[in-house]
A and B are shown apart, each in its own frame.
Chain A
Amino acid sequence: MKHGVAAFAVAAAVCSSLALISGCAKSPEIYAPPEYVSWRATTDVVLNYPIPGHMNRFRLPRMNDLGFSAVPKTVGGKLHWDFPEDTVIVKEVYATSKPGPGDKPIQLTIMAKDPGDRRALGGWLWYTKVLPDGKETLFPGNYCITCHANANEQHPYGDGNPNEEFRDYVYFVPGEKPPMPGPHPEATGKGR
């Protein structure tokens, strides 16, 4: 009996250690389930103008209902967005700037709000999934968040965040005003 208890304790200790070593105490999770296609888009703007990282590939960002329930606070006279935990934004990336009706996305980029996860950057987990057969993979480094950090300051997309509100790294927040008149990214040419 004592041997059985000891063996169980050793096995439990080994499993715990392995879990800690692997850094994945959580069970594997799918952030973009098949029904994500029914989630609402975060903007009406047609996102087919060239941007760094995706060029002029057509993008369609969708967010789960939890994300749409977010209400910004006012901090220092400015709106301050803090999307609730478990908010998921799935951005479909298509192969061309004008996909046909039957075309499928070639890639999903995913933002999952999970500030408690030690791998989170800016409170978000940044995933990518190459379609059709790829798995959701945590994007290494700070490539994604470096660009998305611009969402919290003035930028050339959507309303341009003229008041430099903290928008929680999200370029198109719910209820965002239409794009401001002025130079549009589509107007820009080749650069250095």
Chain B
Amino acid sequence: MARSRKRFLSLTLKVDLILIATLAVGVGAVMAAFTISLLGSSDRLTRENLAQQGNILYTSIQNFMIPGDAPLAVKFFGAVSIASPNYSIKLYRRDGINAFSDNATIDTVNSNQTARKFARRLVIPDQPAMPNRPGLEKATAVPPEEVFFRDDAGGKSYFRSYKPLLNLPKCTICHGSDHTIRGVIDIRSDVTSVIAIQNLTLGAGLAGFFVVVGALALVLGSFLRRVVLDPVKQIGRVCTAVAGGSFEGRVEVRGRDEIGSLARTVNTMVEGLYERFELTKYVSSGTIGAIKEKRQEPKRVGRTLFFTDIRGFTSYTESKMPERVVEVLNRLLDRQSEIIQEHGGTIDKFVGDEIVAYFQDEDGPNKACRAAVAIARFCAERLEENDGLAVGMGIATGTVILGMVGSMRRADFTVIGDPVNVASRLCSIAKGGQIIVSDATRGRAAGEFAFRGPLAAKLKGKAALQKVWILTGSAVPEEGS
């Protein structure tokens, strides 16, 4: 199954991204809503204003116009445009041509009614090219639609509306009944300055948005980095150090919040781990293993017991300075421990200058003998350095009871049984540099090692003489020896 590969993103970067995204969406949404509302309100206001003006003009035309006065209205619209340069009102026929710019309407009216004839214009001004009038079709359709649109021309912006003029029944007497729409009122309002202000507001809003988002991202990012990310990183560093075996690091506790609480917990945990780590030096690996595996029940197992003891150590301690005694003792015990562990043995306990260890598995006797030979060699090579101290060793193999021994308050996971006693006794009778093994041990290790014996030994606690052997070295001479 293919494993999904995710790009590594640091927590700092993630938090920064989340902050910026949240601010951009949150503040941006508010800004966008505000801007849209502002622009929409302005447009709607202008549109409603134009519609209202159109309605007023239309109502005025409907109610106050006396037949024949339409040209006056056109003249009035022209005057309004002159008086207010940013505002214009125009009247178009339904075909888009400026009303009363020629004699077409006057001729129609004169032909439709006989009561009063209107004078034709004698001078017709040159007709400009018909301008494009977007939306005129909608405004002159049946039914018509009031049209609003924005018109940008000559660097200026206009809001415009086409207000349809209906051919009302009362108008049909003069203007005829063959059409529904007479024309449109075109109201044009210059909104260039309004648009400029809108754009300025929009630009300022956008700039403000980016400044606010940037500033908030910086402030919040810095705050979060100081309060959350840095302590988390520090916790990570301490944990990494602990995993590497260093217990010296501690997390700086800055506050009383959750992060501070976590930092305190981590520090407590590291201290606890350190204590446990130190304790492993004083507790046998068997005890630690039993605790780990939660096995407390005793059981019978085959083991090879291995005892070492420094010969003449008591008199040595009386003749030497304590510092020297401890230095030499620790060196001897330390190296013996290393050798035993290198050969797969388990240190059960230290009793003064004595080491109690055991080996398991089928080749436990061989391992124990190898360790003993190595210790003897070490002691021989460093005899002078160790002030002439040598180690006597005893090895016995057999069935022992393995289990927790002691009280509820203090116990050891250790071995008890006859091989333990035998190995101890053998060790006690061994001279410095001598390795005495039981007959059972020799029987299993005979192929690899040379033994001298058998010898009959009187061991404490044993009525009969015991058959024992002295390990003299490897059965096969070592290379170079």
Most buried by B among A150, A156, A192: A192
Interface assignment of B108: CB less than 8 Å from any CB of chain A: yes
| Cβ contact of B173, chosen from A49, A55, A188, A192, cutoff 8 A | A188
Q: What residues of chain A lie closer than 8 Å to B205, measured between beta carbons? A: none
| Cβ contact of B175, chosen from A51, A139, A153, A192, cutoff 8 A | A192
Tell me the chain A residues, 124-144 only, with Cβ under 8 Å from chain B.
139, 141, 143
What class of interface size applies to chain A in its complex with B? 20 to 34
- Nearest-neighbour CB distance to chain A for B179, whole angstroms, equals 6
- Nearest-neighbour CB distance to chain B for A165, whole angstroms, equals 15
Interface assignment of A50: CB less than 8 Å from any CB of chain B: yes
Most buried by B among A55, A185, A191: A191
- Nearest-neighbour CB distance to chain A for B104, whole angstroms, equals 5
Interface assignment of B168: CB less than 8 Å from any CB of chain A: yes
Does the CB pair A191–B169 fall under 8 Å? Answer: no
Does the CB pair B168–A51 fall under 8 Å? Answer: no
Nearest-CB residue, chain B, relative to A185 = B177
- Nearest-neighbour CB distance to chain B for A179, whole angstroms, equals 14
Cα–Cα, bound, A189→B172 (Å): 9
Does the CB pair B146–A190 fall under 8 Å? Answer: no
Q: What residues of chain A lie closer than 8 Å to B175, measured between beta carbons? A: 191-192
Interface assignment of A183: CB less than 8 Å from any CB of chain B: yes
> Known interface pairs A190-B178, A192-B105. Does A141 touch B143 (Cβ–Cβ under 8 Å)?
yes
What class of interface size applies to chain B in its complex with A? 20 to 34
> Known interface pairs A52-B180, A143-B144, A156-B173. Does A189 touch B166 (Cβ–Cβ under 8 Å)?
no
Cα–Cα, bound, A52→B108 (Å): 16
Does the CB pair B172–A52 fall under 8 Å? Answer: yes
- Nearest-neighbour CB distance to chain B for A152, whole angstroms, equals 11
Does the CB pair A191–B112 fall under 8 Å? Answer: yes
Does the CB pair A189–B170 fall under 8 Å? Answer: no
Interface assignment of B113: CB less than 8 Å from any CB of chain A: yes
Does the CB pair A191–B168 fall under 8 Å? Answer: no
Q: What residues of chain A lie closer than 8 Å to B105, measured between beta carbons? A: 192
Interface assignment of B261: CB less than 8 Å from any CB of chain A: no
- Nearest-neighbour CB distance to chain B for A94, whole angstroms, equals 17
| Cβ contact of B167, chosen from A49, A52, A141, A183, cutoff 8 A | A52
Nearest-CB residue, chain A, relative to B113 = A183
Interface assignment of B357: CB less than 8 Å from any CB of chain A: no
| Cβ contact of A146, chosen from B112, B166, B173, B178, cutoff 8 A | B166
- Nearest-neighbour CB distance to chain B for A45, whole angstroms, equals 14
Does the CB pair B169–A156 fall under 8 Å? Answer: yes
Interface assignment of B93: CB less than 8 Å from any CB of chain A: yes
- Nearest-neighbour CB distance to chain B for A76, whole angstroms, equals 19
Cα–Cα, bound, A175→B173 (Å): 25
Interface assignment of B111: CB less than 8 Å from any CB of chain A: yes
Cα–Cα, bound, A192→B105 (Å): 5
| Cβ contact of A192, chosen from B104, B142, B145, B177, cutoff 8 A | B104
Does the CB pair A53–B142 fall under 8 Å? Answer: yes
Tell me the chain B residues, 423-471 only, with Cβ under 8 Å from chain A.
none
Q: What residues of chain B lie closer than 8 Å to A156, measured between beta carbons? A: 169-170, 172-173
Does the CB pair A150–B112 fall under 8 Å? Answer: no
Q: What residues of chain A lie closer than 8 Å to B174, measured between beta carbons? A: 191
Cα–Cα, bound, A155→B170 (Å): 5
Does the CB pair A188–B172 fall under 8 Å? Answer: yes
Does the CB pair B143–A150 fall under 8 Å? Answer: no
Most buried by A among B142, B145, B168: B168
Does the CB pair A50–B177 fall under 8 Å? Answer: yes
Cα–Cα, bound, A121→B15 (Å): 60
Cα–Cα, bound, A154→B109 (Å): 19
**Can you pick out 24 interface pairs between chain A and chain B where the beta carbons lie within 8 Å of each other?**
A51-B169, A51-B172, A52-B179, A53-B142, A53-B180, A55-B178, A141-B143, A141-B146, A143-B143, A143-B166, A146-B168, A147-B168, A150-B169, A157-B169, A185-B172, A188-B173, A188-B176, A190-B108, A191-B112, A191-B179, A192-B105, A192-B107, A192-B108, A192-B175
Per CB-CB distance, the 3 closest pairs between chain A and chain B, nearest first, are A191-B176, A191-B175, A192-B105
User: Besides A49-B177, A141-B145, A150-B168, 19 other CB < 8 A contacts?
Assistant: A51-B169, A52-B167, A52-B177, A52-B179, A55-B180, A139-B143, A143-B166, A147-B169, A155-B169, A155-B170, A156-B170, A188-B112, A188-B173, A188-B177, A189-B112, A189-B176, A191-B179, A192-B104, A192-B175
